[in-house]
Amino acid sequence: MRRSRLLALQVSAVVSVVALVFAGEARASSVDELIASAERQIAQGNEDVALRRYTDAVTLDRSCERCYLGLGALREKRGDFTEALRVYTVGLANRAEGAKLRIARAGALWRVGQREEAVKELEEAAARGGGVDALRALAARYRELKRVPAELAVVRRIARIAERDGNEALKQEMSVLGAALSLVASSLDPVGHPEAPDAARRALARAAAGR
C-alpha cells in the first residue's frame, strides 16, 4: 500500500514537471509570436496595435529582454522618451544582466537630458560585459561631452578587444581614431598627454595606411 502511494506520488511529480516544461515552451512560443506580430504591425504602420502586442508579451514573460527592447524602441519612435525610459528601467529590474537594456536605457536617459546618468549607465554596461557595443556607445557620449581623454581610453580598450579577437577591420578603425584622438589630446593637454604632435601625426598616417 505504501509502495503504491509512493509510486503514485512519483508519477504525479513527473506529470507536473512535464506540464511545466510544456507550459514554459508554450509561453515562449506565444511571446515569440507576439513579438513577431508587433514587428509586422510596425512595418504596416499600426503602431497602436504593436504597442498592445509588446505589452501582452511583457505580461506573459516579464524577463523577456526582446519585449522591453521592442516596446521601449517603439515608445522612442513615437517621441515618448520618458515612457521609454520607464520601460527600460522596469526591464532591468526584472533582468539584472541585460547589457542591451542598459545601452537602451542610457540612450533614453540622454534624450531626456540626464546625460551624466546616461554615461554612468553605459559605464555599468561596459563593466558588466556589454562588449564592443557598450564601449562604442560610451565613446560616442564622451565625444559629445568633449571628454577626449576618456574617449581615447575607451577607443584603446576597443582596439585591444579587436586585437584579442582577431578583428582586423575593427582594430584598423580604432587605430585611426585612436591616433586622431591622441593628436587632439596632446594639443589640449601637453602635460597630461606629452606625446609630440608630430609623433601623433605620424601614428595617424601609419594607421590610415594600415601599417
Q: State residue 186's pLDDT score.
A: 78
Closest CA to 87 of 54, 114, 116: 54
Q: State residue 203's pLDDT score.
A: 58
- What the block records as the C-alpha cell of 97 is 544582466
Distance, CA of 93 to CA of 25 (rounded, Å): 24
Helix ranges restricted to H, 46-167: 47-60, 65-77, 81-94, 99-111, 115-127, 131-144, 148-165
**pTM (2 decimals)?**
0.76
% pLDDT > 70, the chain: 74
Task: Answer yes or no: is pLDDT of 54 > 70.
Answer: yes
Contact 167, 211 (CB under 8 A): no
The model's pLDDT over 16-38, given as tens digits with 9 standing for 90+, comes to: 333 333 333 445 579 999 999 99
* Distances, alpha carbon 150 to alpha carbons 55, 113, 133, in Å: 38, 20, 17
% pLDDT > 90, the chain: 68
Return left, alpha or beta for 189; rule: phi > 0 is left, psi -120 to 50 is alpha, else beta: beta
Amino acid letter for position 201:
R
- Average pLDDT over the chain reads 83
Closest CA to 170 of 162, 178, 182: 162
Domains detected in the chain = 22-129 (1.25.40.10), 146-211 (no CATH)
The model's pLDDT over 82-97, given as tens digits with 9 standing for 90+, comes to: 999 999 999 999 875 6
Task: Answer yes or no: is pLDDT of 6 > 90.
Answer: no
